[in-house]
Amino acid sequence: MKLKGVFLTCLFLFLTHTLQAFASPQTDSLLHELTHTIENKHQYIQLKQQRIAKLQAALATDTLSLKTQYTLYDKLYREYRSFQYDEAFTYALQLQDIAARLQDPARITHAQLNLSFILLSAGLFKETFDALDEMRVASMPDSIRIDYYTQNARAYFDLASYNKDKHFTDQYMRKGGQYTDSAIVLSNKGEMQYYTLRGGKYEALGEYEEVKRQFQMVLRNFEPGYHQYAMAAHALGNAYDALGDQDKAIEMLARAAIADIKSSTTEAMALMRLAELLYNSGDQARAYYYIKQALEDARFYGARLRKMQVAAILPVIEGDRLATVESQRSRLFVYAVAISLLSLLVVVFAYVIFRQVKQLRKAKKSLTEANGSLQLANSKLKDINGVLQETNEALLEANKIKEEYIGYSFNMYTEYLDKIEKLKVAVDKRMRQKQYSEITKVMDSVSLKAERESLYQSFDRIFLKLFPNFVDVFNSYFKPEDRFELPDDQSLNVELRIFALIRIGISDHEQIARILEYSVRTVYNYKTKVKNRSLLSNEDFEHRIMEIKAI
């Protein structure tokens, strides 16, 4: 009975741990995708920085008109406003300066709205309201009036969320709703902005079924960019969470976080909210990883409000994670004690049983054990033989490649020695005859470009002789329209030649660059372009190239 009780205790602890780790396949797949996207977010940041660099280069031209400068400053502000606070603030101020010099009321108001947006993103509520109060939008175009009302609404909603004061919150929410209604009245019902505004209003009022309906319309009937998609998915995630559908909430917040990363938005809250939901659902490991990423984004963005919001959650998740680790250690200790007791009982029972069985049973058991050992040994020998066979095949292939290229090298060296000897004889002859002008002609007859091209062609022939199916297998990794077409079956183009060198064991970029007379960056760019077009992942591409067999 004691043995049975120990067994049931271990089983209960195991099942409890397993159920806590369970997640729906779709949600788990999305979270894996999110983690992968986070690991590769530098690629999206690099693309944004390239766009910014182009705009800054265009702005450096001395002959730009004020209107062109205004347009470029506005584009730079939009690139930075959800990416880095300090830069966005700087460009918003510069945009105001250009607008004032243009003396264009619409542009001045637009620049002021940009500044108020970035102030609000930083949590500077007083400065935001001061900037908004200075604006006069009665005679402005509808687009500017909509932005003005939308920013006022967002400012009051954010202030209500930040203060959470019983006396003032209702007042702020009411004003935010009034400004939202003003923006909705001016919006076109056939545009995405109309449904976004309505969804934001219903979210503030806590009518989450309507929030779902409005933002589902956005995702179903329009084609939002990454940033707009992230905002819609974030709102849907909050709505599902409020309605009690936690799996769907996690799914939408994960989609929002992925879209934020792809748009290089570091000012977003989706990752923080996702970490909070995962923490509440018991997934402390992912929650801790995501909240650290959210804090990193907040620090990169540079706004104090975002850092405070994330920092308020991080200690809770981190503390619970440490408590979980300690709990797991205690649980492992219980498992170890239970297993030790079970092992001791097994040893005792085995001793009693083995003393009572007959010699024949002992012999039979010994024979069975011996047979099992032989089978195990045989299985291991098969595995070893398989490894040895693969190694032998690789050695044979390497020897064949070496033999071909050694012979090829000796032939090339012999040809070059003959050419050098002929050149030496010709030069010596002109020197003896004092025909110095003829020496230049002799030297000019040597074409390094032609010699190098001959070297490449010789390499291509030898390589394709060793790997006759290389081009066909290589092209199978691409869509039909992206495959490489060669002028003949004895030549390679630059891209294939780079990967041919990799296949025979030359993987160093500098060495490949010297052989092909390119820069290291050019070789890297060629490789990157080929991998990006491939059906394979970048990590798997070169591994598959090395699997192409020689004859």
Quickly list H helices, 433-519: 436-444, 448-466, 470-475, 494-503, 509-516
Query: Residue 224, class by beta-carbon neighbours within 10 Å (0-12 exposed, 13-18 middle, 19+ buried)?
Result: middle
Model confidence pLDDT, tens digit, residues 43-70: 999 999 999 999 999 999 889 999 999 9
Whether 346 shows a pLDDT value over 70: the answer reads yes
Domain limit, last residue, from 278, 293, 321: 321
Whether 4 shows a pLDDT value over 60: the answer reads no
Q: Which residue has the tokens 């905002």?
A: 231
Q: How many Cβ atoms sit within 10 Å of the Cβ of residue 263?
A: 19
Kindly report the backbone phi and psi dihedral angles of residue 239, in degrees, each rounded to the nearest multiple of 5, phi listed first.
-65, -45
Q: 43 with 176, same domain?
A: yes
Give the distance, in angstroms, between the CA of residue 471 and the centroid of all CA atoms in the same chain.
30
Between CA 478 and CA 486, with CA 484 as vertex, the angle to 5 degrees is 155
Q: 212 with 116, same domain?
A: yes
- Continuous segment of H or E residues that includes residue 133: helix 125-133
Overall domain count for the chain: 2
With contact defined as beta carbons under 8 Å apart, do 463 and 493 qualify? no
Task: Please check whether residue 359 lies inside any domain of the structure.
Answer: no
d(CA 52, CA 73): 11
Model confidence pLDDT, tens digit, residues 118-150: 998 888 889 999 999 999 998 999 999 999 999
Q: 273 with 406, same domain?
A: no
Task: Please check whether residue 376 lies inside any domain of the structure.
Answer: no
Of 259-263, 279-283, 438-442, 450-454, the range with the lowest mean pLDDT is: 438-442
Q: 308 with 415, same domain?
A: no
- Tokens found for residue 68: 């062109």
Q: Indicate the pLDDT class of residue 8, thresholds 50, 70 and 90.
A: very low
Q: Indicate the pLDDT class of residue 152, thresholds 50, 70 and 90.
A: very high
Q: Indicate the pLDDT class of residue 352, thresholds 50, 70 and 90.
A: confident
Model confidence pLDDT, tens digit, residues 63-112: 999 999 999 999 999 999 999 999 999 999 999 999 999 999 999 999 99
Q: Indicate the pLDDT class of residue 371, thresholds 50, 70 and 90.
A: confident
Q: Indicate the pLDDT class of residue 249, thresholds 50, 70 and 90.
A: very high
Mean pLDDT of 201-220: 92
- Tokens found for residue 484: 């490489």
Q: How many Cβ atoms sit within 10 Å of the Cβ of residue 134?
A: 10
Cβ-based neighbours of 194, under 8 Å, separated by 6 or more: 184, 187, 188
Residues composing the chain: 551
d(CA 323, CA 317): 10
Mean pLDDT of 454-468: 87
d(CA 270, CA 389): 53
pLDDT of residue 317: 60
With contact defined as beta carbons under 8 Å apart, do 109 and 144 qualify? yes
Query: Residue 188, class by beta-carbon neighbours within 10 Å (0-12 exposed, 13-18 middle, 19+ buried)?
Result: exposed
Task: Note the pTM of the prediction, 2 decimals.
Answer: 0.55
Cβ-based neighbours of 21, under 8 Å, separated by 6 or more: 283
- Tokens found for residue 318: 């981190």
Q: 282 with 194, same domain?
A: yes
Identify the CA nearest to 496 among candidates 525, 530, 520. Answer: 530
d(CA 34, CA 23): 15
d(CA 186, CA 150): 11
DSSP 8-state assignment for residue 395: H
Q: 313 with 457, same domain?
A: no
Q: 407 with 541, same domain?
A: yes
Task: Please check whether residue 393 lies inside any domain of the structure.
Answer: no
Give the distance, in angstroms, between the CA of residue 77 and the centroid of all CA atoms in the same chain.
25
pLDDT of residue 358: 75
Task: Please check whether residue 347 lies inside any domain of the structure.
Answer: no
Domain limit, last residue, from 291, 321, 351: 321
Q: Which residue has the tokens 């025979």?
A: 504
Of 364-368, 424-428, 477-481, the range with the lowest mean pLDDT is: 424-428
Task: Please check whether residue 50 lies inside any domain of the structure.
Answer: yes
Q: Indicate the pLDDT class of residue 114, thresholds 50, 70 and 90.
A: very high
Q: 317 with 406, same domain?
A: no
Kindly report the backbone phi and psi dihedral angles of residue 111, in degrees, each rounded to the nearest multiple of 5, phi listed first.
-65, -40
Q: Which residue has the tokens 């007791």?
A: 341
With contact defined as beta carbons under 8 Å apart, do 141 and 186 qualify? no
Model confidence pLDDT, tens digit, residues 317-328: 655 555 455 555
Q: Indicate the pLDDT class of residue 5, thresholds 50, 70 and 90.
A: very low
Mean pLDDT of 190-218: 92
Q: 57 with 153, same domain?
A: yes
Domain limit, last residue, from 275, 299, 321: 321
pLDDT of residue 297: 87
Whether 345 shows a pLDDT value over 50: the answer reads yes
Task: Please check whether residue 109 lies inside any domain of the structure.
Answer: yes
Task: Please check whether residue 293 lies inside any domain of the structure.
Answer: yes
d(CA 312, CA 164): 15
Q: What is the CATH number of the domain that holds 125?
A: 1.25.40.10
Give the distance, in angstroms, between the CA of residue 392 and the centroid of all CA atoms in the same chain.
39
Task: Please check whether residue 83 lies inside any domain of the structure.
Answer: yes
d(CA 219, CA 47): 25
Q: 309 with 168, same domain?
A: yes
Q: How many Cβ atoms sit within 10 Å of the Cβ of residue 226?
A: 17
Of 41-50, 329-338, 439-448, the range with the lowest mean pLDDT is: 439-448
Q: Indicate the pLDDT class of residue 486, thresholds 50, 70 and 90.
A: confident
Average pLDDT, the chain: 82
Domain that holds residue 233: 24-321
Mean pLDDT of 350-354: 72
Quickly list H helices, 302-444: 304-356, 359-432, 436-444
Tell me the one-letter amino acid at 206: G
Q: Indicate the pLDDT class of residue 309, thresholds 50, 70 and 90.
A: low
pLDDT of residue 37: 94
